[in-house]
């Protein structure tokens, strides 16, 4: 009886499935991208109609619609700014994800960093705090997973299961904080982005 290397067979099957699935996935992505742009245009037109010249007239409806789109709550003047300033609406989703760091400057018609994060030093301190939490949680999660066999031999099954669940939870939280750390850079890029450039 010949020896079959199951790792090699599973790797070959994975490569074949990836080769077959990737072009299909790419074409689906292109189609969904076109559909998403069409939906965004319709959404923008409806928001513009609802907003009119004063966002306070339909504020509850606008807030509900924008909450799902941008994942943040906007003030009436911010809604008007994103709808009426050419090129600003395309930045709305990014603004929603890093609103903690930036704000709309009404007088200058642009996005700017909040005073607390306007200096590089303050942004580095914020990154450092988040990075520390990320490292701490990642280390706790990794140690818990890597020492699971030792825990099993010392404490038994139940403790090991709880330790593994806690470790996975720590790793998930660490990944969340890693994403939070990049939001500072996203905010800086968004502020430096020219709203009037349509690339």
Mean predicted confidence (pLDDT) in 150-168? 84
Total domains in the fold of the chain: 2
Of 58, 84, 110, the position where a domain reaches its end is 84
Q: Determine, yes or no, domain membership for 51.
A: yes
Q: What percent of the chain has pLDDT over 70?
A: 78
Mean predicted confidence (pLDDT) in 36-45? 68
Q: Determine, yes or no, domain membership for 127.
A: yes
Q: Determine, yes or no, domain membership for 107.
A: no
Q: Are residues 76 and 126 in the same domain?
A: no
Residue 12 banded pLDDT, cuts 50, 70, 90: low
pTM above 0.75, yes or no: no
Is residue 29 pLDDT above 80, yes or no?
A: no
Is residue 162 pLDDT above 60, yes or no?
A: yes
Top pLDDT among 167 and 21 is at 167
Q: Are residues 78 and 124 in the same domain?
A: no
Residue 131 DSSP symbol = H
Q: Which pLDDT belongs to residue 199?
A: 42
**Which structural domain range is residue 124 located in?**
120-190
Residue 129 banded pLDDT, cuts 50, 70, 90: very high
Q: What percent of the chain has pLDDT over 90?
A: 8
5, with CB counted inside 10 A (0-12, 13-18, 19+), is exposed
Q: Which pLDDT belongs to residue 182?
A: 85
Q: Which pLDDT belongs to residue 125?
A: 92
Q: Are residues 124 and 76 in the same domain?
A: no
Q: Determine, yes or no, domain membership for 109.
A: no
Q: Which pLDDT belongs to residue 121?
A: 93
Q: Determine, yes or no, domain membership for 142.
A: yes
Residue 1 banded pLDDT, cuts 50, 70, 90: very low
Task: Read off the pLDDT of residues 41-86 as tens digits, 9 standing for 90 and up.
Answer: 777 888 888 888 888 888 888 888 888 777 788 888 888 888 888 8
Q: Which pLDDT belongs to residue 132?
A: 93
């Amino acid at each position: 009886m010949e020896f079959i290397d199951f790792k090699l067979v599973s790797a070959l099957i994975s490569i074949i499935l990836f080769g077959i699935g990737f072009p299909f996935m790419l074409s689906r992505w292109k189609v969904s991208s076109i559909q998403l742009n069409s939906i965004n245009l319709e959404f923008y037109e409806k928001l513009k109609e609802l907003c009119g010249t004063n966002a306070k007239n339909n504020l509850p409806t606008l807030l509900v619609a924008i909450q799902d789109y941008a994942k943040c709550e906007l003030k009436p003047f911010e809604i008007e700014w994103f709808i009426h300033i050419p090129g600003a609406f395309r930045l709305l989703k990014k603004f929603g994800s890093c609103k903690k760091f930036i704000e709309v400057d009404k007088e200058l018609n642009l996005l700017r960093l909040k005073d607390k994060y306007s200096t590089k030093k303050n942004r580095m301190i914020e990154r450092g705090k988040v990075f520390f939490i990320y490292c701490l949680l990642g280390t706790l999660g990794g140690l818990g997973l890597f020492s699971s066999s030792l825990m099993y031999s010392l404490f038994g099954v139940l403790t090991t299961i709880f330790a593994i669940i806690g470790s996975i939870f720590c790793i998930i939280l660490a990944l969340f904080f890693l994403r939070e750390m990049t939001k500072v850079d996203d905010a800086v890029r968004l502020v430096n982005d020219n709203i009037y450039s349509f690339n």
